[in-house]
Chains A and B, each alone.
Chain A
Amino acid sequence: MKIRTFGLQFKEGLIGLWRNRVMSLASIGSVTAVLLVLGLSLVLIVNVNSIAEYVESSVEIKVFLIDELDSSQVETIGAKIKQLEGIKEITFESKEQALEKYKKQLGNNNNLLEGLEGENNPLPSSYIVKVEDPNTIGDTAGKISAFEGVEEVTYGKDVVDRLLKSTYMIRIVGSILIGILALISIFIISNTIKLTVAARRKEINIMKFVGATDGFIRLPFVIEGLVLGLIGAVLSSGMLVALYNYFYSIMGRNFGSFFILVSSSLAPFNQTMYNTSLVLLAVGVFIGIIGSAVSLRKFLNV
């Protein structure tokens, strides 16, 4: 197909959109809605994953030791932990250090802890263990808890599991919602294009008996669907960026430096928006083309 022909067909497509502006607006609205939901789900999933990763990478195993150990027994436990596979780092925290840390955290209210030094210190000594691969953390923790002299083992796996479970829910609910909305969009787009097909019935009939190819006849309608999808994608991307910005500014205003700290665990803003917009563009175009294909399959035979 020649460029000039394509230009003419492109113009026909735009004329079609303008001719059914009300339906075109409805189509754009529905595509925008699907893509916005899709975009929000994606951004949410990406961020929860990013937070989960952050938490996961910072998780450590706390190995609390029973009080009645002498220093050589404590060292033996440390040596046994070190011999386990995939241990990145191990530090010892004595009863006194634990109390110091606790005091610092409690700040000025530390009269609560008065009289708890020395003999009366209720805090256990512990090893803090970091592993190479967060996925092995459960296994490693299990092994350590079996060691003699170990009172209790804790780690942040629960948090990670809960986070990952929440992305699973977002995925399911999001997929269902997106599926339904996408079908609605395809339906509305195909009906919009059917109107153009109906308005151009006579022209299409003439094209056929003059010897136009199917591709030539279909092109304006495909362009029409494509443009609807594209406009929806641009609008939804814009809204998504605006919403995300708004979220950042609200969080920044209300939680200040804390949010700045936390946001380092969120997915990087620009890259997330860029990737999500690309996905929305692709899905928008896809929905548009499917919408026109649905209407053309039935209406352009002979």
Chain B
Amino acid sequence: MIILNGVTKKYPSGTIALNGINIEIHKGEFVFFVGPSGAGKSTLIKLLMREQVATSGTIMIDGIDIATLKRRQIPHLRRKLGVVFQDFRLLNNKTVFENVAFAMQIVESSKREIVRQVPRVLSLVGLGDKAGAYPAQLSGGEQQRVSLARAIVNNPPILIADEPTGNLDPDTAWEIMKLLKEINHRGTTVIMATHARDIVNYMRQRVVTLEKGRITRDQERGGYGLED
């Protein structure tokens, strides 16, 4: 489903953030990307979202070489990807319901669909009773769950999370992980970049280790494996 072949990313500043990455991610997999700060995890995610373009190599998603996408085709790629960030990226002047509905309005869902789908997703992430609240009235964990709801509300086949637990305390982090696992069980491919050693070790999923822009380890049911 996702195939990277010799992917290299050199930023204009001269930094080589990724260097010859080869990897294959199958439908329904749960993959952790781990590695020290600056290893290139976020860069990899930006390449998948086509926020950045690889300097060389190819990235295939669903059989499409995403480098060949025209500007107006990029939105269609992004609709296949739900994304969650460390800093939640919610709109503070919109309620929980509106923040999630926003993602549906953008893909021009009908009002009917929005009214039906948003409460479902909110109850899936355990926020069924917070629909009318504003982000500022929520805890960090709750805010991250809203952003998770927004990421999956359009049923994308792939969910990408860049340090989704980075700003959360351990207990809250575990709740988010449970949700990600559940979403993965429903058939969504989940790709997560993280520094959370305990989580990675506990989850026993595929772990890809990046160091200085290269893959140094790729283990099924692996552990964090690195000394910090």
Which residues of chain A have C-beta atoms less than 8 A from B76's C-beta? Answer: 211
A209 / chain B contacts, CB cutoff of 8 Å: 49, 51, 78, 81, 83
Does A262 touch B at the CB level, under 8 Å? no
Tell me the B99-156 residues at the A interface (CB within 8 Å): 102-103, 105-108, 110-111, 150, 154
Q: Which of the segments A73-81, A198-206, A253-261 contacts the partner chain?
A: A198-206
Q: Tell me if A176 counts as interface (CB < 8 A to partner B).
A: no
Q: A209-B83, A211-B78 are in contact. Are A5 and B105 (CB under 8 A)?
A: yes
Is residue A302 within 8 Å, beta carbon to beta carbon, of the partner chain?
A: yes
| A79 CA to B49 CA, complexed, in Å | 91
Instruction: Report how far A45 CA is from B178 CA in the complex, Å.
Output: 76
A10 to chain B, nearest CB (A): 13
Query: Which segment of A100-108, A159-167, A212-220, A236-244 sits at the interface?
Result: A212-220
Interchain CB contact under 8 A, B91 and A202: yes
Q: Is A173 an interface residue (CB 8 A)?
A: no
Q: How far is it, in angstroms, between the C-alpha of A224 and the C-alpha of B106 when the chains are bound?
A: 19
CB neighbors of A among B3-62 (8 A):
49, 51
Chain B residues, Cβ within 8 Å of A212: 75, 106-107
A210: interface (CB < 8 Å): yes
By a CB distance below 8 angstroms, the chain A residues around B186 are: none
B89 interface hit (Cβ, 8 Å)? yes
**Are A214 and B72 also in contact (CB < 8 A) when A206-B91, A302-B51 are?**
yes
**B79 CB-CB contact with A under 8 Å:** yes
Kindly identify which residue among B51, B71, B75 contacts A211, using a CB–CB cutoff of 8 Å: B75
Say whether A298 faces chain B, with CB atoms less than 8 Å apart: no
CA A202 to CA B90, docked complex, whole Å:
9
A132 to chain B, nearest CB (A): 60
- Shortest distance in angstroms between B22's beta carbon and chain A's nearest beta carbon? 26
Q: A2, A203, A302: which contacts B108 (Cβ < 8 A)?
A: A2
Which of B78, B110, B111: most chain A CB closer than 10 A? B78
Closest partner residue, chain B, to A4 (CB atom): B111
Q: Is A208 an interface residue (CB 8 A)?
A: yes
Asked whether A8 lies within 8 Å of B78 as measured between CB atoms, the reply is no
Among residues of A, the one whose C-beta sits closest to the C-beta of B153 is: A210
Contact of A5 among B72, B75, B91, B108 (CB under 8 A): B108
CA distance A211 to B105 in the complex (A): 11
Q: Judge whether A1 is part of the interface by a CB distance below 8 angstroms.
A: yes
Cα A212 to Cα B89 in complex, Å, equals: 16
Task: Tell me whether A203 and B91 are in contact in the complex, defined as CB-CB below 8 angstroms, given that A5-B108, A210-B78, A302-B51 are known contacts.
Answer: yes
B24 to chain A, nearest CB (A): 24
Q: B102 to chain A: which residues have CB within 8 Å?
A: 206, 210
Question: With contacts A211-B75, A211-B76 known, is A206 near B89, CB below 8 A?
Answer: yes
| Chain A residues in 8 Å Cβ range of B83 | 209
> In the assembled complex, how far is the CB of residue B159 from the closest CB belonging to chain A, in whole angstroms?
12
Q: Which residues of B contact A5 (CB under 8 A)?
A: 105, 108
Q: CA–CA, A200 to B107, complex, Å? A: 19
Q: Is the CB of B91 within 8 A of A211?
A: no
Q: A146: CB under 8 A from chain B?
A: no
Query: Does chain B have a CB within 8 A of A207?
Result: yes
Q: Nearest residue in B to A8 (C-beta to C-beta)?
A: B105
A4: chain B residues within 8 A (beta carbon): 110-111
Chain B interfacial positions (CB closer than 8 Å to A): 49, 51, 71-72, 75-79, 81, 83, 89, 91, 102-103, 105-108, 110-111, 150, 154
Chain A positions near chain B (C-beta within 8 angstroms): 1-2, 4-5, 8, 202-203, 205-214, 216, 302
15 A-B pairs with C-beta separation under 8 A: A4-B110, A203-B91, A206-B91, A206-B102, A207-B106, A209-B78, A209-B83, A210-B103, A210-B107, A210-B154, A211-B77, A211-B154, A214-B72, A214-B75, A216-B106
